[in-house]
Structure 1
Amino acid sequence: MLDLKEYGIVMWDAEKIASFRRTLLDWYDREKRDLPWRRIKNPYYIWVSEIMLQQTQVQTVIPYYERFLDWFPTVKDLAEAPEEKLLKAWEGLGYYSRVRNMQKAAQQIMTDFAGQFPDTYDNIAKLKGIGPYTAGAISSIAFDLPEPAVDGNVMRVMARLFEVNYDIGDPKNRKIFQAIMEILIDPDRPGDFNQALMDLGSDIESAKNPRPDESPIRFFCAAYLNGTYDKYPIKLPKKKPKPVQIQAFIIRNMKGEFLLEKNIDGRLLGGFWTFPIIETDFIGQQLSLFKKDNCALETVSQKAIFEENYALKPVWTDNNFTPVKHTFSHQKWTIEIVEGIVKDDKLPTHKELCWVTTEDFNQFPMATPQKKMIKTYEDSKKG
């Protein structure tokens, strides 16, 4: 076991730990949120909720969670789901590798565990896309195993509780918070203990605008008692996402249908349908453009490349559209919309392309950047 003294952390005695557990769980029993995945101990349901809750707020997740389980009520249904339906179910949640990994994990359960969700931490952790936090959450909540579920919320609470002088954003420091939690976790109610800390960290002890005077564990909290609350947790700034310039081609045929392309799996937006997009460059240094919403972009035109790659000869319009902006975790896109109309709409076979009416757009899984492009285009036509 990790020696916490080497990291400047002195753990409490057994009596104080027991008092802390009682205080936290009494508060949880009074204040816990009524969430659909807390009403049943089905490990599949808990797994779905935990994956959805990564990088997504609770209120956003609830309707997605309910629809997902309506469409894929069992592990078997998820394992056998067609990709387009799977992506449609996840559409708008982002970080789409999460749901792809879920399907791979469901297939593992069918083949390696005879369709039964594994009931030990080690076997749960073997599933694709499940890391220590999710394995701990499922183990403790579904199976009452005394396994910590250490996420950002829990690390924030622990950092304040013990004045931990290590960056919670650095993955190598996770072991410190894991060791603290292994000592603190209530062996009789491990799932409730983990969920209590999640609730506390996401609300009263949130990253922004915490309310330390309302915290049920404030009199255990070293940062609160020592007046150092604003110092913790220590978290160094993340690297800024890389700016990327994109040209998107909104092409219509004579029937008023729009050209959509299915992006290649394994790439950003892989598996989703979008207007054809090609990466380009600004002419000159124009970083200030990223701060403006309706500037005229001066970019290297990709029209000739589009015509060559898609075997189409559009008549290009001179309509100007507001640039579309979208930030991923590692890239910040500024999208210039280019509009064209074709008479000959025969499509090449080396790409997955189709002509689609606006009424049928909702039949295709589309990520947020595509939805923003559609809205921008439609708004410009209203004006």
Structure 2
Amino acid sequence: MAPFSERLLEWWRRHGRHDLPWQHPRTPYRVWISEIMLQQTRVETVVGYFDRFMQRFPDVDTLARAPVDDVLACWSGLGYYARARNLHAAARRLVDEFGGEFPSEVDALAALPGIGRSTAAAIVAQGFDRRAPILDGNVKRVLARHAGIEGWPGRSAVERALWSEADVRTPDGSPADYTQAIMDLGATLCTPKRPACSHCPVRADCMARRDGRQEELPTPKPRKNLPTREQHFGLLRDADGRVLLERRPPTGIWGGLWCLPEVAGGDAVEGAERLEPPEPIEHVFSHFRLRMQLVHQRIARPDDAVRDREDRRWRTAEEWLEAGLPKPVRALLERL
């Protein structure tokens, strides 16, 4: 039987994905942006964002020089906004410390904001065509099934076993193609539900297929019930229909984005005209569910309490849609 990597590469050359936008050209910068965008986000969603991001920030120097607000605005809707802030911070360090060039060593890349070991390896493998084992979500699933590794991959011992399997299987030749191939296998055949085992190029020695455990592996994360938090937000509009938004603190949920101001409940602004509020908005984060109760008011004339300042601004809904906004706030302003 041919080695794992040879069977996988032969399959990929005939059936893999060869038309993803970050593959043409496959530069370290483009691979980096795509890898960060693909964290927690599906390829179908990322493609459009990637193209727009490349038009606005075609290289690391442009990204480093841009205001972080512009980066967040271009990212708006992708979620997990710390990724965008880290991109901006890493771009500045690449310019300051490496002259705008990407280092070709995993350790040097992994020291940059927002770049973990697997992402750094993906940049080295695909951007420089150098051998560097990766272990993203798709690869974890492929290896857990093929090697029959039990346990939730988030546990240290399980992760170490998966890294060992990734290293053993990664070939010296064609590392860029192999890296794309194993990601494609997980994305298109070795899927979380109903994997297409009959078409898999490495099915002959897959432990999960042998034992009928494809749906059991990898072991899922222990489930926890998400708590619900309720918070009141002020939907404040002036006589011209403009909306007041405030910039969130740099850390925490929606860090650095423009958002409706939080209020303690009741009236956001004493004496303002109370309007019919929109339905509450629910938004799910990784650790809790947020229920946004909206206090809708019209203010005849903004006073000192709600006047424009650096972290608080009145703008029309159309103008706000050009800014970096949390997804539920963007949806609300689009309805306005």
**Shorter-chain TM-score: what band?**
over 0.9
Describe how 1:1-383 pairs up with structure 2 within 5 A.
18-33=2-17, 34-278=19-263, 301-303=265-267, 306-307=268-269, 313-317=271-275, 319-348=276-305, 352-375=311-334, 378=336
- Alpha-carbon displacement from aligned partner over 1:308-351 (angstroms, at most 9, x marks no partner): xxxx531223x253221111112211111221122231243677
Change (3 A) 1:37 1:326: same
Moved more, 67-76 or 42-51: 67-76
Secondary structure at the counterpart of residue 363 of structure 1: coil
Moved more, 84-93 or 33-42: 33-42
Secondary structure at the counterpart of residue 89 of structure 2: helix
Q: Aligned partner of 2:278: which letter?
A: F
Secondary structure at the counterpart of residue 3 of structure 2: helix
- Alpha-carbon displacement from aligned partner over 1:172-191 (angstroms, at most 9, x marks no partner): 52111111111111110122
Change (3 A) 1:254 1:230: closer
Is the CA contact (8 Å cut-off) linking 1:20 and 1:220 kept in structure 2?
A: no
Change (3 A) 1:363 1:231: closer
Q: Which runs of 5+ in 1 are unaligned?
A: 1-15, 281-300, 379-383
Secondary structure at the counterpart of residue 60 of structure 1: helix
Secondary structure at the counterpart of residue 321 of structure 2: helix
Number of equivalent positions: 333
Change (3 A) 1:365 1:236: closer
Change (3 A) 1:109 1:351: closer
Is the CA contact (8 Å cut-off) linking 2:22 and 2:31 kept in structure 1?
A: yes
User: How much does 1:78 deviate?
Assistant: 1.0
- Determine the C-alpha separation between the residues in 2 that align with 1:354 and 1:230: 50
Change (3 A) 1:110 1:213: same
- Determine the C-alpha separation between the residues in 2 that align with 1:20 and 1:262: 50
Q: Which runs of 5+ in 2 are unaligned?
A: none
User: How much does 1:36 deviate?
Assistant: 1.3
Is the CA contact (8 Å cut-off) linking 2:12 and 2:181 kept in structure 1?
A: yes
Q: Residue 7 of structure 1 corresponds to which residue in structure 2?
A: none
Change (3 A) 1:230 1:59: closer
Give the TM-score normalised by the residue count of structure 2. Answer: 0.93
- Determine the C-alpha separation between the residues in 2 that align with 1:158 and 1:344: 62
- Determine the C-alpha separation between the residues in 2 that align with 1:172 and 1:371: 41
- Alpha-carbon displacement from aligned partner over 1:160-217 (angstroms, at most 9, x marks no partner): 1111122223245211111111111111012221211111111211112322222121
Is the CA contact (8 Å cut-off) linking 2:194 and 2:215 kept in structure 1?
A: no
Is the CA contact (8 Å cut-off) linking 1:169 and 1:235 kept in structure 2?
A: no
Give the TM-score normalised by the residue count of structure 1. Answer: 0.82
Change (3 A) 1:263 1:231: closer
- Determine the C-alpha separation between the residues in 2 that align with 1:228 and 1:266: 41
Is the CA contact (8 Å cut-off) linking 2:138 and 2:183 kept in structure 1?
A: yes
User: How much does 1:244 deviate?
Assistant: 1.0
Q: Residue 294 of structure 1 corresponds to which residue in structure 2?
A: none
